Amino acid sequence: MQELKKKILQEGRVLSDQVLKVDSFLNHQVDPQLMVGIGKEFSARIHEGYATENKKVTKILTIESSGIPAALTTGLELDVPVIFARKKKSLTMTDENYVSQVYSFTKEETNDITVSKKFLDADEHVYIIDDFLAHGAAAHGLIDIVQQAGATIAGIGIIIEKSFQDGGQKLRDLGYPVHSLARIKSLRDGIVEFMEDEHS
Amino acid sequence: MQELKKKILQEGRVLSDQVLKVDSFLNHQVDPQLMVGIGKEFSARIHEGYATENKKVTKILTIESSGIPAALTTGLELDVPVIFARKKKSLTMTDENYVSQVYSFTKEETNDITVSKKFLDADEHVYIIDDFLAHGAAAHGLIDIVQQAGATIAGIGIIIEKSFQDGGQKLRDLGYPVHSLARIKSLRDGIVEFMEDEHS
């Protein structure tokens, strides 16, 4: 997605060979127009999949907090509800829940992630969205929750994939369609280098 | 806002005299179309204020996670960036930050909330959004951050105000415009009773 890549080059900051900071438009300050563009792009990639899959997405699933804006704009495009998995149980979460564990490399902690059972049925066809894909920890936690519900996975939409880490390849090896809007090949020497991609 | 009140009556669950659960459309599962309506409504109330204030909103500020969807749709309407204050410092938050403390009654814990200094300047005119207003703890934390930046506050947009708690009155007494889209007078006996409101 050209608009996103341009924004990454203009505003992203390479903090190390592993870490790209995009907090001016993606995960602290958010550019709403860019998020609408991202929602349209995920929606387009999902619709491409319908040709072979013939099964419509019924829900978007993300994880708080940084996945929420793109999940919302995608839900708007597809006209389906959005669920965000909670990282911390609220006292008002009194229902039965699906729970999985996710390790955060940027926060160095393991969180239980929780989705109320009443929002995921076995007949749902779920599209998973997250802002970053690195080792794939969050994506695997969300997949686990969809599987606990007995529901199916339509695909995984990622805003920025760090392709030099193994999360994306592992998900593709498992057979999931992974739609990454910007795939980063390397952050070496403080320079963002993108993968060549048929969707660029 | 009629559409919101209808949704609260249809799907909200009164857990006690103090607690209303709206996780089917607001803060766990999210209804994207309703969020667009909420963004339009906040935008309309902000525009009403321009007549007397003559100063345009330059940024939306909310707090992760449940305020994000409405903040995003309002930012989209006004075409301004959205900031969500972080509750937990990420290892990639290496810049200078504004920090305030917020006590969560539903999670029974105090969180530092953090906004990077580079996204809030003294010349910003900030509109604060949150999903619930009860005691006003989150709103006061966000106000504190705007004040630390030396910026001004255009108003405070709240999706659901529990008017039987004192947060809303305290904010109005301080002179802030508070735009609550549904004001709940009472949750007694398991029944949601709304305030009569000129905006109903």
Q: Does B135 belong to an annotated binding site?
A: yes
Cα distances from A15 to residues A10, A95, A191, A195, B150, in angstroms, run 15, 41, 10, 19, 29
Which of B30, B60, B106 to probe by mutation at the A interface, max A CB count within 10 Å?
B30
Q: Which of A30, A72, A93 sits opposite B81 (nearest CB)?
A: A30
Q: Which of A140-149, B93-102, B129-138, B163-172 has the lowest mean pLDDT?
A: B93-102
Q: How confident is the model at residue B200 (pLDDT cuts 50, 70, 90)?
A: very low
Output the CA torsion sign for A19, A23, A28, A31: negative
**Are B56 and B77 within 8 A, CB to CB?**
no
Q: In A54-163, which residue ranges form alpha helices assigned H by DSSP?
A: 68-78, 137-148
Alpha-carbon distance of A87 to A43, in angstroms, equals: 26
Give B110-126 pLDDT, tens digit per residue: 889 999 999 999 999 99
Give B20-35 pLDDT, tens digit per residue: 999 999 999 999 999 9
The arithmetic mean of pLDDT across residues A93-104, rounded, is 86
Pairing type for strands A152-162 and A178-186 reads parallel
Cβ neighbors of A170 (< 8 A, separation 6 or more) are A136
**Are B165 and B187 within 8 A, CB to CB?**
no
Q: Which of A89-98, B55-64, B107-116 has the lowest mean pLDDT?
A: A89-98
| Average pLDDT along chain A | 94
A119: nearest Cα among B36, B6, B25, B68 = B25
Residue A185 β-bridge partners: none
Going by the annotation, the residues of the binding site of A for 5-phospho-alpha-D-ribose 1-diphosphate are 134-138
How many Å lie between the alpha carbon of B91 and the closest alpha carbon of chain A? 5
The arithmetic mean of pLDDT across residues A77-82, rounded, is 98
Residue B53 pLDDT more than 80?
A: no
Q: Could you tell me the two tokens for B24?
A: 């089917």
Cα distances from A185 to residues A134, B92, B125, B174, in angstroms, run 12, 20, 39, 52
> Measured at the alpha carbon of residue A81, what is the angle toward residues A79 and A87, in degrees to the nearest 5?
145
The arithmetic mean of pLDDT across residues A18-28, rounded, is 96
Judging contacts by C-beta atoms under 8 Å, the chain B residues touching residue A75 are 30, 32
Domains and CATH numbers, chain B: 2-194 (3.40.50.2020)
Residue B98 β-bridge partners: B115
pLDDT for B89? 64
Going by the annotation, the residues of the binding site of A for xanthine are 20, 27, 162
